[in-house]
Structure 1
Amino acid sequence: MKTADKYHKWVDWSAKDGVYVGHCPDLITGIHGDNPVKLYEELCEVVDEVISDLAKAGRRLPKPRVRPMLECA
């Protein structure tokens, strides 16, 4: 498993802003765009870059805390 896989990432629609928003709150505040599939790809790239930059700077990664909510039937 890649380090980035430990961090929850998702894209949702913001009616307020009229764009899709990509989230990874353990590492970044978010990014936005018009195409949800392309945005998720960009979100994964940004998360990889943040992890790489923190490692290069010798900083510890934050503990992954945000987890997806699981629906129970």
Structure 2
Amino acid sequence: MKTSDKYHKWVEWSEEDQVYIGKCPDLITGIHGDDPQQVYSDLCEVVEDVIRHLESKKSSLPFPQVRPMRDVA
């Protein structure tokens, strides 16, 4: 498993901004665009870049805290 796979990433439509927003709250605030698949692809690249940057600075990666909601039923 890649390190980036530990971090939850998602894309959602923003009615207010009229664009798709890609989020990974544990690492970045987000990115946006018109094509949800492209936004997700770009988001994954940005997350990888952030991880590489933090590792190159010998900084600790934040603990992945955001998780998708699960049915408890």
Which of the five TM-score ranges fits, normalised by the shorter chain?
over 0.9
The alignment covers a number of residue pairs equal to 73
- Which amino acid is 2:62 matched to? P
Q: Deviations over 1:19-65 (max 9, x none)?
A: 00000000000000000001100000000000000000110000000
Q: SS of 1:17's equivalent?
A: coil
Runs of 5+ unmatched residues, structure 2 = none
Within 2, Cα distance between the matches of 1:72 and 1:33?
33
Within 2, Cα distance between the matches of 1:11 and 1:68?
12
Other-structure match for 2:14: 14
Superposed CA RMSD = 0.8
TM-score of the pair, normalised by structure 1? 0.96
Runs of 5+ unmatched residues, structure 1 = none
Identity of aligned residues (%): 62
Other-structure match for 1:2: 2
1:72 deviates by 4.3
Within 2, Cα distance between the matches of 1:45 and 1:24?
12
Within-5 A mapping of 1:1-73: 1-72=1-72
